[in-house]
Structure 1
Amino acid sequence: MHLKLSSLVTIALSLFYVTSCHAEEENWIELFNGKDTSGWRNPYDWGNAEVVDGEIHLTADKKFFLLTEEDFGDFVFEGEVKLPQGEANSGFMFRCHVEPNNVYGYQAEVDGSDRNWSGGLYDEGRRQWIWPSQSGRTTDKEFLKYEQESHDFFARPEIAAAFDRDGWNRYRITCQGDSIKIEVNDVVTTDIHDDLDKRGPIGIQHHGEKGQTYSFRNLRIRELE
């Protein structure tokens, strides 16, 4: 009797797991159809976005962001980015704020420099670096300790090696309440709590280097209850 009950419980749990995984997979919303930029908008008077071979290519002479027309609050977002050669920097905006010719708020960093801060959390147009932290001028010992810990974190070999400078990189951003987690190629690079913003569009960035093309693909989102 106990063996039969145990078997039934195991089967039930297995079915629940399979059903849950299937439901999660069905709940993904494709933000990019691979053909055009439907569902996206450019709030700037400059910058160009075109679709080439199933990728969004951004070109510009000044920094700009291409944004989703829809806002999102609690979600899991996934997207892939490839940086151009040479000096380059980009990011995925989320829960951000939009004005004419201006976008600010949370950004998952895409860092093309030797600093290796890809996957960090940057507050575009406001507080700047949140993780890793940059304090500027301060004598607060606790803050300086936090700053050092954050820099030591990004110096770890597994974190520094998470980002592929010359290839495609998959980002996953999970926001639920004040919890923010960023993963780069399945490596957790940011896992903090910050409650400044709760809802806004998703954005992709061109950093403004003339002649450079930034590429994005496989952009999708799953909203969380």
Structure 2
Amino acid sequence: MKVKRLLILVAFWGFTLLGFAQKNDGFTSLFNGKDLSGWIMPGKVPGFEVADSVLFASPHNGSELFTKEKYGNFVFKFEYLLSEVGNSGVLIRCEPENPWNSGVEIQLLAPWTPYRDDLHCTGSIYGHVAVTNRPDETTGIWHTMEIKCDRENVTISVDGKVTTVANTDTVKSMQGKHVAGSIGFQSNHSKEGEFVKFRNVFVKNMDSDPDYVSKGFYHENAGFRSQAHDAAEVIGVPMIGRLSEMMSGENVMAQAGAKQVLFDIVAKVASDGTKRERNALAKALGKEQKSSRSKAVKSYFEWLLKMAKSAK
């Protein structure tokens, strides 16, 4: 009997830990089910409200809803429910003040009109890239969408099935679009009385991973290199070891980018960081200065270390 109880307890904890791991696999919730904390609605007419623990968009052509934080490379997943002729969308890598010119829209649309072809239906990059696998567009039920932006590669899935794959470098109409920006939900762009609902809104920010960000320094596209530099500066001290490796490497672009970002990190922490952050910075710089085999890199880190220690 005791053995049986023990097995049940082990199974329970195993199930609990598995569930915890699945809910904490790098994703962060963007909607608390209570209010619009972390979001902004820049327009004069509010387009969204929180009702019954979901995001609810009903007013015709109200303000879109945008994350305050900006994302470049990410996995964004959520559930949505469209009314009978619901019309909405997801805006990615955009500026809230000018979302469609700066970014692109992933369409969310009820199948109410024959004019909405594969270039304008749910799952398409609206007007830019058509779906290759049209998703279930049934209205009045919850669907799941996942949008993955991995530098030039954008992949869209609905209900676990890939609908659209795009390489932004090969889509002429997407040339010049931002490589980082806010994520937004479009308000109700159908007639009065129609609506869209959202819930379980999560994001995995790939630009919080130093290894992922490091690869961006070698990208052929200058825009993605610049975005990687910005992400590395946000990460700060944990990037120093990888930046040191780049400076000791043979890729000239990566060397130059690493050198500049190292300076920017040191300058930022030295002027605005806490004592604890400055100590961590000095420790990381000292470690790389001692371990590097390159005289030029050693010299640069020695100079950075002096700059860091001179901060009050």
Q: Same fold (TM over 0.5)?
A: yes
Q: Which residue of 1 aligns with 2:122?
A: 118
TM-score (norm 2): 0.51
| Higher alpha-carbon Rg | 2
Asked if 2 retains the 8 angstrom alpha-carbon contact of 1:163 and 1:185, the reply is: no
Q: Which moved more, 1:173-182 or 1:206-215?
A: 206-215
> Which residue matches 2:201?
219
**Could you say which residue in structure 1 is the equivalent of 2:178?**
197
> Are the counterparts in 2 of residues 63 and 208 from structure 1 also a CA contact under 8 Å?
no
CA distance in 2, matches of 1:60, 1:103: 19
Q: What is the aligned partner in structure 2 of residue 186 from structure 1? A: 160
Question: How far did residue 46 of structure 1 move?
Answer: 1.1
After TM superposition, the structure 1 stretch with the greater mean CA deviation from structure 2, 27-36 or 107-116, is: 107-116
User: Distance between the aligned counterparts of 2:200 and 2:82, measured in 1?
Assistant: 15
Residues 7-53 of structure 1 deviation map (CA, whole Å, 9 limit, x = unaligned)? xxxxxxxxxxx99x949934211000111110011011113422112
Match of 2:64 in 1: 65
Relative distance call for 1:71 and 1:174 in structure 2 (3 A) is same
- Please give the alpha-carbon distance, in whole angstroms, between the structure 2 residues aligned to 1:23 and 1:168: 20
Contact 2:80-2:199 within 8 A present in 1 as well: yes
1:60–1:210 contact (8 Å) kept in structure 2: yes
Is the CA contact (8 Å cut-off) linking 2:135 and 2:158 kept in structure 1? no
| Alpha-carbon distance in 1 for matches of 2:40, 2:191 | 21
Counterpart residue type for residue 78 of structure 1: K
TM-score by length of 1: 0.70
Q: Say which of 89, 96, 101 aligns to 2:87.
A: 89
Q: Is the 8 A contact 1:74 1:177 kept in 2?
A: yes
Q: Which amino acid aligns with 1:219?
A: V
Classify 1:119/1:184 alpha carbon distance in 2 versus 1 (closer, same or farther; 3 Å): same
Instruction: Please report how far the alpha carbon of residue 161 of structure 1 lies from its aligned counterpart in structure 2 after TM superposition.
Output: 4.6
Q: Which has the higher strand share?
A: 1
Q: 1:63 to 1:49 in 2, by over 3 A?
A: closer
Does the CA-based 8 Å contact 2:80-2:143 persist in structure 1?
Answer: yes
Higher normalized contact order (CA 8 Å, seq sep 6+, divided by chain length): 1
Deviation at 1:189, TM superposition (A): 0.9
1:168: Cα distance to partner?
Answer: 0.9
Query: Which ranges in structure 2 are unaligned for 5 or more consecutive residues?
Result: 1-16, 170-176, 207-211, 213-312
Percent of matched pairs sharing the same residue: 29
Q: What are structure 1's unaligned runs of at least 5 residues?
A: 1-17, 123-128, 133-149, 154-158
Calculate the aligned-residue CA RMSD, in Å: 2.4
For the pair 1:49 / 2:39, whether they are aligned, the reply is no
Residue 48 of structure 2 aligns to which amino acid in structure 1? A
More helix by share: 2
